[in-house]
Structure 1
Amino acid sequence: MSSDSQRHGQNIGFVGTRFAGTDGVSLEAAKWAQILWDHRHVSHWFAGRLDTDPSISMLREHAWFGHPDILWINERIFGRTTRTTEVTRRVYSIAEHLKRSLYEFVDQFAIDILIVQNALCIPMNLPLGVALTQFIAETGFPTIAHHHDFYWERDRFSVNAIGDFLAMSFPPSLPSIQHVTINSAAQEALSHRLGESSVLVPNVLDFETPPEENDDYISHMREDLGLDPDDIMFLQPTRVVPRKGIEHAISLLAALKNPKCKLVVSHESGDEGDEYLHALHEMAEQQGVSLLMVSDRITEERETTAEGERTYTLGDAYAIADFITYPSIYEGFGNALIEAFYYRKPVLVNRYSIFVKDIEPKDFKVITMNGYLTKDVVAKVQRVINEPEYREQMVQHNFELGRKFYSYGVLRRKLRALITNHTGMDDL
């Protein structure tokens, strides 16, 4: 570690499959980098897809899980229990290339600490996990491994031909690695399965800086999305995949029996096909619910398309929404729930396990369901719509609790401990 970095903070190397777009891993990594930057630490980026500044980044195509060579491997290791020697050879060949790149990355940017984002817990890019494990084992490099999803939490990885690689690298047990989990269930599973301790760091938002007031630009949004001024906008701020339980949101609007209630879905289908999307459209049509899919109008930044149409951010969608639906069956954490608290919006939550274990005990005021809608749930939603004073009390209470438990201040304290464990200095 250089004396210069001791005076001016550490050079942090973020490593993952991609740091681009609005996926949860990229967003949380950006928050970590912001907090670290506020305290003199300089972040650099290594991935297969990047929208970071090229001058502080290293792009290696094979680090991306969507690279054709990685997809070729994945087709031959999941859903089966044996693999060919050629698959093994390719895994090690690509891993060797990526390991050399990691040595280059650390040398080029004088990296002091690696922060690995999800690449050592879920095997979407097997060679990258192997490369990281070998690099860290060879160097004893100070590493923080931030685990968002473990492979054992996903059915798609349950049948596989890579038990040896999983035991070695997902995640590895090496003395220079500090493990970070995002919920207590993952923390307990890591301890039970591997005997590894971890630091629990929840996903956070900048509650110290409340959302800005609505401006002139956003005043056009309802009309642009196809809503009338007096419509009641229910926002489903998630991708269109079955585990999000969007059918429950449709059933809720059908039960409210108010044609002014409209369901707006912000994101597109995930990587699981469009069958679920078609089923939702059919269900909405049968139940007389107005379902608006607006992913083409929600972008990372406000802009105007070539056709002259305005686009808006997800934050804009929260700002104009009247109610948030979050009937997920499973979530690793629940970013959309914390976003609802941040934007001071009432929310319906299906009591998924992490909510029950980590979030519900903190006494947030939300409307909950237990896997199915009841008349009582519908009545509670109706009350929130009808009683502005009750709604305001609810959302303000949630904002204050969010500031207490899920703010940048919480992340700052956690990162201070993690960095200090490696440096011996209180660097944040």
Structure 2
Amino acid sequence: MTERVLLVARSAGGPDGVSVEVAKWAAVLRDHAMDVVVVAATGTPDVRIDLLGPRPADPGTPRRWEVLLDGADLVIVHNILTLPLDLPALPYLVGTLAGRAVIVHHHDIPWDRPRPVPPGFPPDDDRWCHVVNSHRAMAAFAEHGIRAAVVPNLFEPDPVAGDRHGARRQLGLDDADLLVLHPTRAIPRKEVPTAVRIAEELGGVYWLAGPAEDGYDGRLRRVLASASTRVRHGLGRLTMAEAYAAADVIVYPSSIEGFGNPLVEAALWRKPLIGGDYPVAAEFAARGLRWFRTSEVGELRAWLARPDHRLLDHNREIAVRNFSVGAVAPLLMDVVREVAEKTRTPNRFVV
């Protein structure tokens, strides 16, 4: 019998970190012969359920949701039960998940954010298993009485090669231009002004891949308009693979991140990175990844003048050893087995 797994998130199929990890988890579970159904309120899920989003649900939605749950052997909830966001149906969702086999995947540390975390949040249940992507997150959840397993974000060890020259032509750049890619959306904690300053000091073209969110549009327009270097904003028709191929430097000066995929992506695409000053990044350094801090623009400039490819080789080897699908998928399947052992119905869920 093939087990049916629901992967549940607010959105699916997009470039944001949660959607990307949902797709990766779906691929791993399907590789283990599981029937995976991605459920979300927006994006391109297999099934769209609007009560997973900020708008009030249609009257028939709760029944559709309960039918999905009753047909599932395992439910994996991505970040919906992590941050106290504007989700009108949250109490109802928690109630319908109680007593079921559930993996609660936390992509963020709720207590890192300025918004107060209400009592009893994140919710917990005896049959649930909580998953976080860093040891710092594991310690934070433990401080609040929640035991969590660590499953780092996972990556394909050989990412799709993008068309460097074609992408740079679309951006209006030639081979001599230094392209500084900021592979993220624009919100305050992404520190766009710092990223622009670094690009200016390097004499490079600043490229912000993602859109402004959370009301940051006006601030972003002012920052980009005042830049003393050339600026590109948005991917257009390009993919992230083409963006990494086109880039010469990755800039990532975030102040807070739940994980920080660009540190690993830069390593796998063999690009130097500057940034990584947020707390969780210390775990990447402990595993051996090396990058330039935001205060080391001069050192990066010297490296670019005489690149030492041993740094890129080293980082790629560390990334593959620690964060590739082959390294992380067994950790995910261990959690799936733990949830299976918690089920009260013998032989209902077997891995």
For 2:123, what is the secondary structure of its paired residue?
coil
Q: Which residue of 2 aligns with 1:290?
A: 230
Q: Which residue of 2 aligns with 1:60?
A: 49
Q: Which residue of 1 aligns with 2:33?
A: 40
| Greater shift in the superposed pair: 327-336 or 98-107 | 98-107
Q: Which residue of 2 aligns with 1:88?
A: none
| Greater shift in the superposed pair: 231-240 or 416-425 | 416-425
What letter matches 1:105 in structure 2? L
Q: 1:106 to 1:253 in 2, by over 3 A?
A: closer
| Alpha-carbon distance, 1:340 to partner | 0.7
What letter matches 1:102 in structure 2? W
Deviations 1:121-156 (A, max 9, x none): 11224444322321232xx2111000112443221x
CA distance in 2, matches of 1:320, 1:273: 26
Contact kept in structure 2, 1:141 and 1:176, CA below 8 Å: yes
1:177 partnered with 2:136 = no
Deviations 1:295-327 (A, max 9, x none): 151xxxxxxxxxxxxx21011010111111111
For 2:226, what is the secondary structure of its paired residue?
helix
| Alpha-carbon distance, 1:97 to partner | 6.9
| Alpha-carbon distance, 1:96 to partner | 9.7
| Greater shift in the superposed pair: 30-39 or 236-245 | 236-245
1:364 partnered with 2:315 = no
| Alpha-carbon distance, 1:255 to partner | 2.8
What letter matches 1:42 in structure 2? D
For 1:48, what is the secondary structure of its paired residue?
strand
Contact kept in structure 1, 2:186 and 2:216, CA below 8 Å: no
Q: Which residue of 1 aligns with 2:15?
A: 22
The runs of 5 or more residues in structure 2 that have no matched partner are 342-346
Contact kept in structure 2, 1:205 and 1:408, CA below 8 Å: yes
Q: 1:254 to 1:22 in 2, by over 3 A?
A: closer
Contact kept in structure 1, 2:102 and 2:129, CA below 8 Å: yes
| Alpha-carbon distance, 1:361 to partner | 1.1
Contact kept in structure 1, 2:267 and 2:315, CA below 8 Å: yes
| Alpha-carbon distance, 1:274 to partner | 1.5
Percent identity, please.
28
What letter matches 1:153 in structure 2? D
Q: 1:52 to 1:60 in 2, by over 3 A?
A: closer
Equivalent pairs counted in the alignment come to 345
Q: Which residue of 2 aligns with 1:187?
A: 138
Contact kept in structure 2, 1:17 and 1:125, CA below 8 Å: no
CA distance in 1, matches of 2:39, 2:22: 12
Q: Which residue of 1 aligns with 2:93?
A: 132
Q: Which of 271, 282, 287 pairs up with 1:345?
A: 271
Contact kept in structure 2, 1:323 and 1:345, CA below 8 Å: yes
For 1:35, what is the secondary structure of its paired residue?
helix
| Greater shift in the superposed pair: 125-134 or 198-207 | 125-134
For 1:18, what is the secondary structure of its paired residue?
strand
What letter matches 1:124 in structure 2? L
Deviations 1:322-361 (A, max 9, x none): 11111111111101111111111000024111112x2111
Please list, as runs of the form range in 1=range in 2, the aligned pairs for 1:136-155 lying within 5 A after superposition: 136-137=97-98, 140-155=99-114
CA distance in 1, matches of 2:90, 2:73: 20
Structure having greater relative contact order (Cα 8 Å, sep ≥ 6): 2
CA distance in 2, matches of 1:254, 1:229: 18
The runs of 5 or more residues in structure 1 that have no matched partner are 70-93, 298-310
CA distance in 2, matches of 1:348, 1:416: 34
| Alpha-carbon distance, 1:114 to partner | 0.6
Q: Which of 184, 188, 199 pairs up with 2:149?
A: 199
Q: Which of 179, 190, 194 pairs up with 1:248?
A: 194
1:386 partnered with 2:305 = yes
Contact kept in structure 1, 2:73 and 2:101, CA below 8 Å: yes
CA distance in 2, matches of 1:233, 1:359: 24
Relative to the length of structure 2, the TM-score reads 0.90
Q: Which residue of 2 aligns with 1:89?
A: none
Q: 1:117 to 1:96 in 2, by over 3 A?
A: farther
